[in-house]
Amino acid sequence: MNYYSLNHKAPNTTFKDAVIKGLAPDKGLYFPETITPLPQSFFDNIDNLSHSEIAFEAIKQFVSPEIPEDVLKTIVEETLAFDFPIVKLNDNISTLELFHGPTMAFKDVGARFMARCLGYFNKENTNEVTVLVATSGDTGGAVANGFLGVKGVNVVILYPSGKVSEIQEKQLTTLGQNIKALEVDGVFDDCQDMVKRAFLDKELTSKMQLTSANSINVARWLPQLFYFMFAYKQLHKEHKDIVFSVPSGNFGNVCAGMMAQQLGLPIKHFIASNNDNNVVTNYLQTEEYIPKPSVQTISNAMDVGNPSNFIRIQEIYKKEFTSLKNNLSSYSFSDEETKTALKEIYDKYDYVADPHGAVGYLGCKAYLKNNPNTHCVFLETAHPTKFLDVVEEVIEEKQPLPKQIQAVIGKTKEATKISSYKELKNFLLK
C-alpha cells in the first residue's frame, strides 16, 4: 500500500515511510491510495472470528508489504490485549466501552499499534526516532505507555498547562525513561501548532528524525477502525440499523469509523458529538469551514478548534458536501447539558459515564428524535475516574479507583514548562 499527501505536492510513499515521517513534506496528512472493501463473507462470518482475526483482516491491506503477515498478527494480538464490551442502556442506545486498556482511554489501541509498528521498523536501525506529540488529554498518556522502553524511540509530549485532568497529567508526566513531558503555557491548538512547525523546521529535521503519534499519523489513526467492527459483531443480531455517536475533537475516531464503513462495515450513519468547540457542527449547517480558537470545557480531550483529521473525512467523500452530510450529523452541547446527561445516565441506567461519553449520549438522543428505528452506540472513550472532580460532583457518589489509575496517582510529576516554539526547538536540539 502506498500513501499520498492530501496537499498533493509531495511524492507518494510507503506505509513505513508514512509512519516514520508522520506528516508529508508538503505539510499534508497521508491517505491510502486505495481502499479495497472486504468480501461479504467476512461480515457474514464475523461471529466466528476473534477480535485479532477481525483486526488482522481489516488492517493488512494498509500495511502490506512492509510488515509481514506473521509479524502483523503478533502486533495485532499485543495491541488488543483487553476487552471492548458493549453495554446496553435501553432498546435504542448502547455504549461501546473503550477504556479497558492500560491508560483507560480509546487511544490505547492506536498508540499500542503504532509503537509496535515503529519498533519493528526501527529494530535494525541505529538512528533514534523522536516521537513528538501534542495532547488535549488522553493521547499523551496512551502514547507514553505505548512507547515506554521501545528501543531507539524517544517521546516528547506537549500538553496545555491546567487544561488536562490531574490523572491525565500524571499518566504522561510520571513514566520517565524515554518519555519527556513539556507543559505548554497555552491551549491544545498551540501545542499542535508547535508540533507541526517542528516537522517543517529544516534545521531540526536535518539533525533528528521526527515523527508524530497524534492521529495525523496513519499508524495511530487507522487501527481505530477495529472497535467499530467489534461493536458490529456484538450488535448486528439486533436487526436494526447501527449508528455511531462519536465524541469528536481532532476527528480521527469518527474518520476511522468511516474507513471501516468504506471496508464494507454496515453502518447506517455517524454522529459527531461536539462540546462548545463546534467547528464541524457549524460547517454542516452552513457549508463554511471556519477554524476558531479552542475553548476549555469539562470534556477536554475534545477541546480542538481546528480538527486535523477533518480533511481526511472530506477526502473520503471526495469533498462532496451533500454526500458527507448524508452520512454525518453533528450536534454541539454545553458543559451544563453534559452535566445533566451524566446525571441522567446515572439515575436512569445506573451507569457512570465520563464527560466525553455523556456528549456522545446526547448526540444519540438528538439523532433518535427523528430516527427512532435505529440503534445508536455512543463511544465511552475514557474511564470516568479520569475526570473524578466532574463526575463525583455531578452524580454525588464516590468512585473507586481502578488499578491503572492507582498505579500513577501517587507518583511525582516531571515536566518542563515552555511557552514558545523557540523553547521547544531548544529542548529538542539538546
With bands split at pLDDT 50, 70 and 90, how would you rate the model's confidence at 142?
Answer: confident
With bands split at pLDDT 50, 70 and 90, how would you rate the model's confidence at 96?
Answer: very high
The C-alpha cell of 346 is what? 446515572
What is the rounded CA–CA span in Å between residue 386 and residue 330?
25
The C-alpha cell of 376 is what? 445508536
The helix (run of H) or strand (run of E) holding residue 153 is: strand 153-160
The answer to whether 184 and 195 have CB atoms below 8 angstroms apart is no
Which range, 145-154, 192-201, 234-243, 312-321, is most confident? 312-321
The answer to whether 164 and 300 have CB atoms below 8 angstroms apart is yes
Query: Amino acid letter at 150?
Result: V
Among the ranges given (79-88, 120-129, 172-181, 241-250), the one the predictor scored with the smallest mean pLDDT:
120-129
pLDDT at 281: 95
DSSP string covering 345-359:
HHHHH-----HHHHH
Give just the sign of the alpha carbon dihedral 275, 278, 282, 284: negative
Q: Is 107 a catalytic residue?
A: yes
Q: What is the mean pLDDT of residues 28-44?
A: 97
Q: Count Cβ atoms below 10 Å from residue 396 Cβ, excluding itself.
A: 8
The C-alpha cell of 2 is what? 502506498
What is the rounded CA–CA span in Å between residue 239 and residue 228?
17
Q: What is the mean pLDDT of residues 412-418?
A: 95
Q: Count Cβ atoms below 10 Å from residue 254 Cβ, excluding itself.
A: 28
> Over 90: is that where the pLDDT of 69 sits?
yes
pLDDT at 15: 97
DSSP string covering 294-352:
----SSGGG--SS-TTHHHHHHHTTT-HHHHHHHEEEEE--HHHHHHHHHHHHHHH---
Q: Count Cβ atoms below 10 Å from residue 32 Cβ, excluding itself.
A: 19
> Over 90: is that where the pLDDT of 379 sits?
yes
The answer to whether 409 and 401 have CB atoms below 8 angstroms apart is yes
pLDDT at 426: 95
pLDDT at 151: 82
| pTM recorded for the entire structure | 0.91
DSSP-derived letter for residue 29 is P
pLDDT at 333: 97
The answer to whether 387 and 298 have CB atoms below 8 angstroms apart is yes
Q: What is the mean pLDDT of residues 340-358?
A: 97
261: three-class secondary structure by DSSP = helix
What is the rounded CA–CA span in Å between residue 375 and residue 267?
10
Average pLDDT, the chain: 93
pLDDT at 38: 98
With bands split at pLDDT 50, 70 and 90, how would you rate the model's confidence at 317?
Answer: very high
What is the rounded CA–CA span in Å between residue 239 and residue 241?
7
What is the rounded CA–CA span in Å between residue 335 and residue 190?
23
- Report the relative pairing of strands 86-88 and 30-32 from DSSP bridges: unpaired
What is the rounded CA–CA span in Å between residue 221 and residue 208?
24
With bands split at pLDDT 50, 70 and 90, how would you rate the model's confidence at 222?
Answer: very high
What percent of the chain lies above the pLDDT cut of 90? 76
Q: Residue 127: exposed, middle, or buried by beta-carbon count in 10 A (0-12, 13-18, 19+)?
A: exposed
> Over 90: is that where the pLDDT of 391 sits?
yes
The answer to whether 236 and 10 have CB atoms below 8 angstroms apart is no
pLDDT tens sequence across 262-294: 999 999 999 999 999 999 999 999 999 999 988
pLDDT at 89: 97
Q: Count Cβ atoms below 10 Å from residue 33 Cβ, excluding itself.
A: 10
423: CB partners within 8 A, 6+ apart: none
Among the listed residues 16, 60, 73, 107, the single catalytic one is: 107
> Over 80: is that where the pLDDT of 18 sits?
yes
Q: Count Cβ atoms below 10 Å from residue 344 Cβ, excluding itself.
A: 15
The helix (run of H) or strand (run of E) holding residue 274 is: strand 269-274
In a 13 Å sphere around the CA of 8, the CA atoms on its Cβ side amount to 3
Q: What is the mean pLDDT of residues 46-57?
A: 97
64: CB partners within 8 A, 6+ apart: 1, 15
What is the rounded CA–CA span in Å between residue 93 and residue 367?
11
What is the rounded CA–CA span in Å between residue 201 and residue 345?
47
